[in-house]
Amino acid sequence: MSQQVKKVVIAGGGTSGWCMAVALSRQLGTLLDITLIESSEIGTVGVGEATIPTICAFHKMHGINEKEFLSATAGTIKLGISFENWTRINHRYIHSFGDFGKSPWIGDFYHYWLAAKTYGYQSELDDFCFELQAAKYHKFSIIEKPKLNYAYHFDASLYARYLRRISEKNGVKRIEGKVVDIKQDTDTGFIETVVLESGERIDGDFFIDCTGFRGVLIEQTLKAGYEDWGHWLRNDSAVALQTDFSGDIPPYTRAIAHEGGWQWKTPLQHRQGTGYVYSSAYISDENARKTLLDNLDGSVRSEPRLLKFKTGRRKKAWVKNCVAIGLSGGFVEPLESTSIHLIQIGVTRLLQLFPFGGCSDALTDHYNELLRTEYERVRDFIVLHYKATGRNDTPYWRDCRDMEIPDSLASRMELFRESGVVSPYNSDIFRSANWLQVMLNQGIEPRNYHHFPHVMDKDQIINNLDKLKNSIARTVEKIPSHENFLKSYCPMR
Ligand code: FAD
């Protein structure tokens, strides 16, 4: 067990560093002395601009005002992701954050729809999800009933700046500088001091590594080790830029599959972020750059940036008196916009287990186990998108389709195929409706379904479905466009 923790040092000031700083200062600031070190010369990765709904809870927990945050970051609303060319070329589906109807305890709502289909019912499952319909028609409003499940898109550098402002108000001390050396206790290996290029030495009791892919503390110093998931998630590169954007702002991210990966398009109030995530084993950086430049919606505002990464996770996110949060702790890949969620869950768990009395094996092991589970849940869901593709037009997609997958995922896919049952893992961030949308839309057809709907007769089932469908359609028609919502609720400052 290390000494009591009073002085906390956060190394790195990207999204992870500032999320950590906001939460720690807001919740425990009066008990701790918090310093954050960042280097503007190194800069941030700057591309994490799409999120999932858990961010709303994180913001509420730490007193972040939604309107103010959206205005300050040129933010927009996200109701899901439009997956284009994933199942096959020219096919599109929206994976929304919403639920389908109201599920009874015995099984998911969509079994009603499957039952109705056996009577020749024609409506699409999509018609029964409010978020999905709102996304489709570019509509949004904050309403009480039904309460929408939504997330945000925002400008990553404005987000870090916004969180920095709040953290500094809460008493976090920021130091500009590059960490060039780390001093450890010679007996225990615990980190004692980080040394900056200027020669300044910052002592601490507890260190949080938010230095991104570099992992300056957790890997370069503490050698936590890395579990490589490249055999399942083969993308290892991205080329990213920003463009102008005109026209209707969609309340969703676009994920468009190309020959050796996929392109994201993230709409903000003032611009669009876009990039091509690909595997360098299948296409060259130059080809990827060309594909990206051939598939833009507006004029280019920034030079294309090349990013290299290795998908996987740090074997131990917490080692001795250091915890890795953000890219220093792992990177699953950005397809379902889960990195910021993983940052915020890492922050939340750390606050819940904060080592005031010192770092013990019990605390460390427990935290590492919680984080391992979170990462693996996300990994399986993302691997599903690649495995369940119907594409076979390029070696990349053929290899994705034919790859071996984690047993945990294989058994879930089989369960669904055999019985139509989607059984989310315990503590899975993705719920039945998420799994269902991806599995059904990417061509996994269940051979059976649960027969609980047949306790009603055919007319009852169909009338209830029609009632729900019409009510969703009427509400969507009434609510404002996403664009008008943004103009009145949170225009960019
Ligand atoms: P960084 O942004 O890299 O920040 C690292 C910080 O550490 C910087 O401040 C840097 O200056 C500092 N630093 C590094 N070394 C030193 C040193 N020696 N001394 C001092 N300071 C140092 N996530 C999502 O949730 N949604 C998305 O849509 C999404 N898209 C992505 C697309 C791509 C192609 C990639 C690669 C990632 C994407 N991510 C996404 C992940 C997301 O970008 C990160 O989770 C997020 O930006 C947090 O990064 P970070 O703060 O951990 O690291």
Q: In what order do the strands lie in the sheet with 312-314?
A: 226-228, 312-314, 330-331
pLDDT over 90 at 17, yes or no: yes
- How much distance in Å is there from the Cα of 47 to the middle of ligand 1? 8
The residue contributing the CA closest to ligand 1 atom 31 is 48
Q: Whose CA is nearest to atom 30 of ligand 1?
A: 48
pLDDT digits (tens, 9 = 90+) for 52-90: 999 999 999 999 999 999 999 999 999 999 999 999 999
CA–CA dist 223, 189 (Å, integer):
11
The per-residue b/e assignment along 294-317, b for 16 or more CB within 10 angstroms, e otherwise, is eebeeeeeeebeeeebebbbbebb
Asked, for residue 110, whether it belongs to a domain, the answer is no
Mean pLDDT of all residues in 123-147? 94
Given a cut of 90, whether residue 145 has pLDDT beyond it is: no
Stretch 408-423: mean pLDDT, rounded?
93
Q: Which residue's CA lies nearest to atom 42 of ligand 1?
A: 48
218 occurs within a structural domain = yes
Q: Which of these three, 299, 333, 357, is where a domain ends?
A: 357
What is the DSSP pairing of strand 272-278 with strand 237-243?
A: antiparallel
Confidence of residue 190 (pLDDT cuts 50, 70, 90): very high
| Pocket-testing residue among 44, 193, 219, 332, ligand 1, by greatest number of atoms within 8 A of Cβ | 44
Q: Say whether pLDDT at 423 is over 80.
A: no
Cα separation of 477 and 455, whole Å?
33
How far, in Å, from the CA of 39 to the mean position of ligand 1?
13
Share of the chain above pLDDT 90, in %: 95
Cβ-based burial of 475 (10 A; exposed 0-12, middle 13-18, buried ≥19): middle
For ligand 1, the distance from its centroid to the CA atom of residue 14, given in whole angstroms, is 6
Pocket test for ligand 1, best of 18, 42, 176, 268 (most atoms within 8 A of CB): 42
Residues 197 and 162 in one domain: yes
Ligand 1 atom, smallest distance to 337 CA: 26
Backbone angles phi, psi at 435, to 5 degrees: -60, -45
In a domain, 24, yes or no: yes
Residue 191 φ/ψ, nearest 5 degrees: -75, 135
CA of 326 to the centre of ligand 1 (A): 7
What's residue 91's pLDDT?
97
Tens of pLDDT, residue by residue over 42-60, are 999 989 999 999 999 999 9
Domain membership of residue 262 as a residue range: 237-308
Quick one: 23 and 36 in the same domain?
yes
Are 167 and 292 in a shared domain? no
Pocket test for ligand 1, best of 339, 344, 374, 429 (most atoms within 8 A of CB): 339
Which residue is it, tokens 């929304």?
96
| pLDDT for the residue numbered 143 | 84
Same domain, 344 and 218: yes
For residue 2, the model assigns a pLDDT of 62
Q: What is the DSSP string of 260-293?
A: TEEEEEEE-SS-EEEEEEE-TTTS-HHHHHHHHH
Residue 352 forms part of a structural domain: yes
Intra-chain end-to-end CA distance of the chain, in Å: 48
Q: Which atom of ligand 1 is nearest to the CA of 40?
A: 11
Residues 243 and 298 in one domain: yes
Average pLDDT over residues 184-195: 97
pLDDT at 147 over 90: no
Atom from ligand 1 closest to the CA of residue 17 = 51
B/e letters for 76-103, b = 16+ CB within 10 Å, e = fewer, are: bbbbbbbbbbbbeeebebbbbbbbbbee
Residue with tokens 């729900």: 468
Indicate the helix (H) or strand (E) that contains 323. Answer: strand 322-324
Pocket test for ligand 1, best of 9, 10, 15, 197 (most atoms within 8 A of CB): 15
Q: Cα of 21 to ligand 1 centre, how many Å?
A: 15
Closest of 214, 231, 235 to residue 285, by C-alpha: 235
Closest atom of ligand 1 to CA, residue 327 = 52
Considering only CA atoms, which residue is closest to atom 40 of ligand 1? 48
CA 325–ligand 1 middle distance (angstroms): 10
Chain segment 280-307, per-residue pLDDT in tens: 999 999 999 999 999 999 999 999 999 9
181 and 219 both lie in a single domain: yes
Least-confidence region, from 100-104, 278-282, 288-292, 393-397: 100-104
Q: How far apart are CA 404 and CA 433, in angstroms?
A: 25
Query: Which atom of ligand 1 lies at the shortest distance from residue 43's CA?
Result: 11
User: Could you count the other beta carbons within 10 Å of the beta carbon of residue 278?
Assistant: 27
Report how far ligand 1's centroid is from the alpha carbon of 214 (Å).
Answer: 10
Mean predicted lDDT score pLDDT of the chain? 96
Contact by Cβ (8 Å): 151, 97: yes
Q: What is the total count of domains within the chain? A: 2
CATH code, domain with 61: 3.50.50.60
pLDDT value at 427 more than 80: no
Using the atom order of ligand 1, give the atom closest to the CA of residue 341: 25
The residues pairing with 313 across neighbouring beta strands, listed in sequence order, are 227, 330
- Judged against a pLDDT cut of 70, whether residue 424 lies above it is answered with no
Q: Say whether both 24 and 71 belong to one domain.
A: yes
- Which pLDDT score, from 0 to 100, does residue 46 have? 87
Q: Can you tell me the distance from the alpha carbon of 70 to that of 159, in angstroms, rounded to the nearest whole number?
A: 9
Same domain assignment for residues 176 and 304: no
For residues 167 and 280, membership in a common domain is answered with: no
Angle at 342 between CA 336 and CA 346, to 5 degrees: 175
Residue type, 362: A
pLDDT at 443 over 90: yes
List, in order, residues 6 or more apart from 340 with CB less than 8 Å away.
Answer: 15, 19, 48, 51, 52, 55
How far does the centroid of ligand 1 lie from the alpha carbon of residue 488, in Å? 32
Residues with CB under 6 Å of ligand 1 are: 11-17, 37-39, 42-45, 47-51, 156, 178-179, 210-212, 214, 216, 238, 240, 275, 277, 307, 309, 326-328, 334, 337, 339-340, 343
User: Is 54 within the bounds of a domain?
Assistant: yes
Residue for token digits 């950590």?
A: 20
Look at residue 457 and tell me whether its pLDDT is greater than 90.
yes
**Nearest CA, atom 9, ligand 1:** 13
Residues with a known catalytic role: 78
At residue 441, does pLDDT exceed 80? Answer: yes
The answer to whether residue 476 sits within a structural domain is no
Q: Are 249 and 289 within one domain?
A: yes
Cβ atoms of 218 and 209 closer than 8 Å: yes
∠ CA 214-217-223, nearest 5°, is 90
Residue 410 CB contacts under 8 Å (≥ 6 apart), including other chains: none
DSSP per residue, 13-61 = -SHHHHHHHHHHHHHHGGG-EEEEEE-TTT-------B--THHHHHHHH
Residues 204 and 300 in one domain: no
- Reference 91, options 463, 490, 443; nearest CA is 443
| Arithmetic mean of pLDDT, 186-212 | 98
Distance 199 CA to ligand 1 centre (A): 25
Is 80 exceeded by the pLDDT of residue 1? no
What's CA 404's distance to the chain center, in Å? 24
Q: 308, 323, 348: which is the final residue of a domain?
A: 308
136, 15, 141: which is closest to 73 by C-alpha?
Answer: 15
The reply to whether 268 and 179 lie within a common domain is no
